[in-house]
Amino acid sequence: MAGNVDLLTNGLKDYINCLHTHNSSLQEDFRELSALFAALQPAYEGQAAETFKASWMATARWFEEYIDQTVLLGSFLEERVSWLEQDK
């Protein structure tokens, strides 16, 4: 049984590390996209600009929610790993 717990713990640790790497990369990409969008705003006008802005704002909310949820998932999994390590 201990071998199974060790295997699970190590797998969760690997997944958490991948999740943190993914989250960091996504945050950096989102910052870059946000900066590009902000730079575009003064030069882009009209109906197309308004449609694009609405789409971007919806996408930005999705990015922020996704990032927040991955942070919560990482914390949840770290807590579970801690419990598994205490039960050894």
pLDDT digits (tens, 9 = 90+) for 30-46: 999 999 999 998 888 89
For the chain, the structural domain boundaries read: 2-86
pLDDT mean across residues, the chain: 93
Q: Which residue has the tokens 């790497």?
A: 21
pTM of this structure: 0.79
Q: Domain spanning 2-86: which CATH class is it, in words?
A: mainly alpha
The ranges of the chain with pLDDT < 50 are: none
